[in-house]
Amino acid sequence: MSRIETLVNGVLDGDRRALARLITRIENRAPDAPAALAALFPHTGRAYIVGITGAPGTGKSTVVNALARTLRAQDRTVGIVAVDPTSPFSGGAVLGDRIRMTDLAGDRGVFIRSMANRGSLGGLAAATGDVVRALDAAGFDVVLIETVGAGQSEVDIARTAYTTIVVDAPGLGDDVQAIKAGILEIADILVVNKADRPGAENTVRALRATLELGHRLRSAGHHGPLLDQDDAPPEPALDLWDVPILKTVATERSGLDELAGAIERHRAYLSESGLYEERARQRVQAELATRLREELLARLLDERSPAAVAGVIERILARQLDPGSAVRELLNGT
Amino acid sequence: MSRIETLVNGVLDGDRRALARLITRIENRAPDAPAALAALFPHTGRAYIVGITGAPGTGKSTVVNALARTLRAQDRTVGIVAVDPTSPFSGGAVLGDRIRMTDLAGDRGVFIRSMANRGSLGGLAAATGDVVRALDAAGFDVVLIETVGAGQSEVDIARTAYTTIVVDAPGLGDDVQAIKAGILEIADILVVNKADRPGAENTVRALRATLELGHRLRSAGHHGPLLDQDDAPPEPALDLWDVPILKTVATERSGLDELAGAIERHRAYLSESGLYEERARQRVQAELATRLREELLARLLDERSPAAVAGVIERILARQLDPGSAVRELLNGT
């Protein structure tokens, strides 16, 4: 048996060390990772993928951990992928795993992996997709993807997950409100965590008002199912799905059964409405677009001489050539 | 005179309506925008570009506005580009402009434009670069780029700006601390805003400790000057540049002269050390990579039949073809 076969069989047999090794190989873009992923691919598609995101300060990591424990109590196995922002002071991701591990320690039905954003967003999105697929092939019933941060990463999560949870909390500043408006669109379920704090009801009301406003403003669907170049965010499922607003106190594991229940209801809704397949299709489209972009650029740069590329850059710096024309020149190979 | 020539001459003559019209055409990817930008390009390169970012809740918009007023008091004209996250509840960007406008109202030496993130990060980065160039050609002495959010957008700002300011504030949660670690790397200047609040000194101390830790951990430079595919962040200028930590109370315009002074010192440092040119080169490289990725994908999709692309997607959904192999198949045109 080849080394890759051993690794693949290990993952399929539920060997945690094989899984950890494969994920490291995915992260490091090891040359044998694509073959392993190709061999595992027919065994994927069974895990239910949930994205969890929200503004800083909302306690979403605690929500993720509490949700994992609730799912475990329902006898479901859980993989967690935590996507951290670029950290120059490396070790952050490892430290994060250790802190989490003490909470869910010794439970072999849980597998946690933190991924640091190593530069390229496209690269990270591709790697996260592959890691989720590895956890899926390894047989985890549910995969939770958590992103720290706000902005584009949330939109990318929405592509990877079937159900997207946006976590909020009372008492965050105005600036956070602005960010929330940007990510509410992708929420299938809204959670107001720290609901024992003053102002929790106000936060619920504000979210409800914003949802209603968004519903009114939003015109008919305009993102087609084609593989588009604009990376249009997935069509929000607001129309028929009534986005629930749940309250949790994750530190006390309060409200988590309701959250797990809402995920189940959303899953059933996706199935019955046909949106499940639609979302799967959108995920595939987005992933292909990201991978093609990276691969096409790599190939182009292989074809062009470094001297030609350097020459173009110098002419731009000398204001002799504008970037738009430079791109056309590099593409045409002149 | 053609319509484009009229527009270009208007921008060069300082006609604000022409500038606004050009920026709208850039944002909408109008077919004549590239020609206008090419004509303006020889007139760019004079503005000093400053990026301002930080975690939500730090009051960075207020810092941006106060800094703009301070620069105006020094008789320098200021362009502001505020990059907002994707907002489904559109009108947010416009509303933001109006709120800002009341603050800097009637001053013809200031031009403010909010840009909503319309889906593609690559598209937004390219559009932001072009808008900054339009402001540069229009003769603004300083261009301030503000991003809301945390994560990849900060890394992208670092590419566009000569001097990057990261804004922090006392009393933000642990979650925010994690994000800060991720963006400290790109800071040339650190600002602790809301410095009249309790805990400001602690925040300064924590930032200093993190900077020192980062300095110790960071090994020798490993990002080469080549056009890389990994989008490695620009080499931090920590080695010789001692990142200052300044305190501001932006609502009271306190500490802003010191901030403007620190920007000037950093500018002089970049010039004298040769890093100014190096950063300009890195910006050009990153911009070319982003534009090439988008353009290459567009061209590939033009070449392949929609039916072929749809067929690949269906085979992935049926688990007959893994995404990695699908990319190779689409690239090879089989």
Nearest to A227 among B285, B293, B309 (CB): B309
More confident site: B145 or B154: B145
For residues A220 and A78, which has the higher predicted lDDT (pLDDT)? A78
Give the span between the Cα atoms of A10 and A4, in whole angstroms: 10
Residue B36's pLDDT band, with cuts at 50, 70 and 90, is very high
Asked whether A179 and A70 are in contact (CB, 8 A), the reply is no
Q: Is the Cβ of B249 closer than 8 Å to some Cβ of chain A?
A: no
Please give, rounded to a whole number of angstroms, the shortest distance from the CA of B218 to a CA of chain A: 7
Out of A60, A87, A330, name the one closest to residue B181 (CB). A87
Q: Sheet of A163-168: strands edge to edge?
A: A110-116, A78-84, A142-147, A48-54, A163-168, A189-192, A245-247
Tell me if chain B has a CB within 8 Å of the CB of A87.
yes
CB contacts < 8 A (A, B):
301
For chain A, the structural domain boundaries read: 1-42, 44-288, 304-332
Out of A170-179, B68-77, B172-181, least confident range: B172-181
Using CA atoms, how far apart are residues A327 and A320, in angstroms rounded to an integer?
Answer: 14
Q: Which residues pair with A249 in a beta bridge?
A: A254
Q: What is the mean pLDDT of residues B5-34?
A: 93
Q: Which residues, 6+ apart, have CB-to-CB distance to B256 below 8 Å?
A: B66, B67, B69, B70, B248, B250
Which chain A residue has the Cα nearest residue B184? Answer: A88
Measure the CA–CA gap between A145 and A157, rounded to whole angstroms.
Answer: 8
pLDDT band at A66 (very low <50, low <70, confident <90, very high): very high
Q: Which of residues 138-177 of A touch B (CB under 8 A)?
A: 148-153, 155, 172-173, 175-176
B73 touches chain A (CB under 8 A): no
**pLDDT of residue A30 exceeding 80:** yes
In contact, A193 and A169? CB cutoff 8 Å:
yes
Confidence tier at A111 by pLDDT (50, 70, 90): very high
The better pLDDT of the pair B115, B273 is held by B273
* pLDDT tens digits along A169-200: 887 754 455 455 556 777 899 999 999 998 89
Tell me the pLDDT of chain A averaged across its residues.
81
Chain A residue numbers touching B313 (CB-CB < 8 A): 227, 281, 284-285, 288
Angle at alpha carbon of residue A77, lines to A75 and A78, rounded to 5°: 130
CB half-sphere exposure, A1, CA atoms < 13 A: 8
Q: ipTM above 0.90?
A: no
At residue A230, the 3 state secondary structure works out as coil
Alpha-carbon distance of B271 to B292, in angstroms, equals 30
For B191-206, write each residue's pLDDT tens digit.
999 999 998 998 898 8
Query: What are the pLDDT digits (tens) for B285-305?
Result: 888 988 898 889 989 999 988
Model confidence at B207, pLDDT cuts 50, 70, 90, reads confident
- Its sign, for the CA torsion A111, A289, A278, B92, is positive
Q: Residue A322 and residue B37: Cβ atoms within 8 Å?
A: yes
The pTM of this model reads 0.71
* Predicted local distance difference test score (pLDDT) of residue A255: 97
Task: Answer for the pair A125, A154: CB distance below 8 angstroms, yes or no.
Answer: no
pLDDT given at position A232: 44
Chain B, nearest residue to A92 by Cα:
B178
Residues of A within 8 A of B123 (CB-CB) are: 230-231
Q: What is the structure's pLDDT at B232? A: 44
Q: Determine the pLDDT at residue A102.
A: 55
- The superfamily in CATH containing domain B45-281 is P-loop containing nucleotide triphosphate hydrolases (3.40.50.300)
Contact A51, A158 (CB under 8 A): yes
* Residue A219: how many other CB atoms lie within 10 Å: 6
Chain B positions in Cβ-Cβ contact with residue A89 (cut-off 8 Å): 181, 184-185, 210, 213-214, 217
Is the Cβ–Cβ distance between A79 and A143 less than 8 Å? yes
Better pLDDT: B58 or A179? B58
Q: Is some CB atom of chain B closer than 8 A to the CB atom of A209?
A: no
Question: pLDDT at position B125, please?
Answer: 66
Q: What is the pLDDT of residues A289-329, one digit of tens each?
A: 888 988 899 899 999 888 999 999 999 999 999 999 999 99
Q: Selecting from 3.90.226.10, 3.40.50.2300, 3.40.50.300, 3.30.2010.10, what CATH number does the domain A44-288 have?
A: 3.40.50.300
pLDDT at B231: 43
**Higher pLDDT, residue A120 or B126:** B126
Q: Which residues of A touch B84 (CB under 8 A)?
A: 178, 182
* pLDDT of B234: 47
Please list, in sequence order, all residues whose beta carbon lies within 8 angstroms of the beta carbon of residue A75, skipping any fewer than 6 positions away.
none
Provide φ and ψ at A88, rounded to 5°.
Answer: -75, -25
**Cα of A293 to nearest chain B Cα, Å:** 5
Cα A330 to its chain centre, rounded Å, is 33
What pLDDT sits at residue A239? 58
Q: Is residue A316 less than 8 Å (CB to CB) from chain B?
A: yes
Q: Is B198 exposed, middle or buried (0-12, 13-18, 19+ CB in 10 A)?
A: exposed
Q: Round to whole Å and give the CA distance between B175 and B194.
A: 19
Minimal Cα distance from B174: which residue of A? A57
